[in-house]
Amino acid sequence: MKTKTNKTALIPKLRFPEFQNSGEWEVVLLEKLIFKNTKRNSEKKYSLVQSISNKHGFINQDEYFDNRQVASMDTSKYYVVDKGTFAYNPSRIDVGSLAYKNDDNISIISPLYVCFKCNREIINDYFLLHWFDTNSFKKQMTTNIEGGVRNTLNFENLIRISIPLPTLPEQQKIAAFLSNLDEWLAAEEEKLTLLETYKKGLLQNLFPAEGETVPKLRFPEFQNSGAWEVKRLGEVASSLMYGINAAATEFDGENIYIRITDIDEESRQFLPNPLTSPKGELQNKYLVNVGDILIARTGASVGKSYYHKNGFGKAYFAGFLIRVSIKKDFIPFFVYLQTLTKKYNKWIVAVSVRSGQPGINIEQLKSYSLFIPPSKAEQQKIADCLSALDELIEAQRQKIEQLREHKKGLLQQLFPMGN
């Protein structure tokens, strides 16, 4: 090892067998390991402009930002980046906003970003990339951020952070192991994306398109069952009601409070953080029953829907939600599915646009048109099909979450905490 400090050396909790007797790790400042990339596009030789995405890392700007072109801009001060370059936005530095370029193309990136590379004689690129995901880095990063109008982590502050470092062969072993885990995680995330895409396709094809009376896809036993009819939500619902106007308080162990922010945008699951109870006197008329549909009536998430399933205790719904209870002649989950379609989203946008904050009221919601098949059995068949698919999607989400937690645990044990 070429660079040393006087800081305490460390040993990780987990270590590969071939390195058990390799001695302690050294704690090294990043200033000894990384150097700033300051190469500019002064001759305007390169035209591929990239930005950083929290999810995807380096991305081509014209593909992800509505084909926004920067050809007319002066890119002479943009940084030239190639394979092996790290970059981050110093004004919003977090693990998600720090990216590593692992493709072979040469591109340019805004000078608003900080770009740097590793001294590969001392540190492995991917070892450093994975270490940026540890609590040790996050903790040190927080102490080195400068305040002001926006929190900032300049390169000069970044290089003050120290990292525990083993020999290069051990770094490479750890990096390869964690990279394989990332590939596994990415494959599982791709499976989730495919399932979600498949669901969106079914939602478009199991319900009639506008101007049509039968869906493109229909189960064989209902092929000759006739046309679907259009009914207003007000005809299908037994009641629509605004929620309780109460503040949220610490969960009392019995009464659950459901608010707009407790409903996950993607999964439409009830995912409170933390679980709360409504404050004050509670009335039964604000209870949510199994099969009820809750719809956000105001704010950025107006129209967002939630279907209440079994497995809850006493749950009350908040004032910025509308509870829709469905008549016995209709399958509640079938009705709920129609709030997940493009048709519904388009309608919400059109109806909720008004001066100030977007919103929707009960009378407007009653007017929404639903497609209803001739028989309740066909409603049930569609509901069962998509419910089964939802279970697969939820199981896949849980699998991914377990993998993420597994990786977090490994990170804590494969890297010593440092000083």
Torsion-angle region of 298 (φ positive above 0: left; ψ -120 to 50: alpha; else: beta): beta
pLDDT per residue as tens digits for the range 264-293: 998 999 999 899 999 999 999 999 999 999
Tokens representing residue 412 in the block? 């804590």
* More confident: 43 or 175: 175
Q: Give the model's pLDDT for residue 149.
A: 52
pLDDT score at 3: 45
Q: Which CATH number fits domain 229-372: 3.40.50.620, 3.30.2130.10, 3.90.220.20, 3.20.20.70?
A: 3.90.220.20
pTM over 0.75: yes
Domain spans of the chain? 17-167, 229-372
Lay out the sheet containing 34-36: strands in order across.
34-36, 114-118, 86-88, 98-100
Strand partners, 326: 237
Q: Which residues of 110-146 are buried (b: 16+ CB within 10 A; e: fewer)?
A: beebbbbbbeeebbbbbbbbbbbbbebbeebbeebee
At position 94, the amino acid (one-letter code) is D
Please, are residues 201 and 216 in contact by the beta-carbon 8 Å criterion?
A: no
Question: What is the tens place of the pLDDT at every residue in 229-266?
Answer: 999 999 999 999 999 999 999 999 999 999 999 999 98
Which of the following CATH numbers is that of domain 17-167: 3.40.50.620, 3.90.220.20, 3.40.50.150, 3.20.20.370? 3.90.220.20
Residue 9 has pLDDT above 90, yes or no: no
- What is the chain's mean pLDDT, rounded? 90
Identical topology for domains 17-167 and 229-372: yes
Alpha-carbon distances of 105 from 45, 88, 93, rounded to whole Å: 13, 19, 25
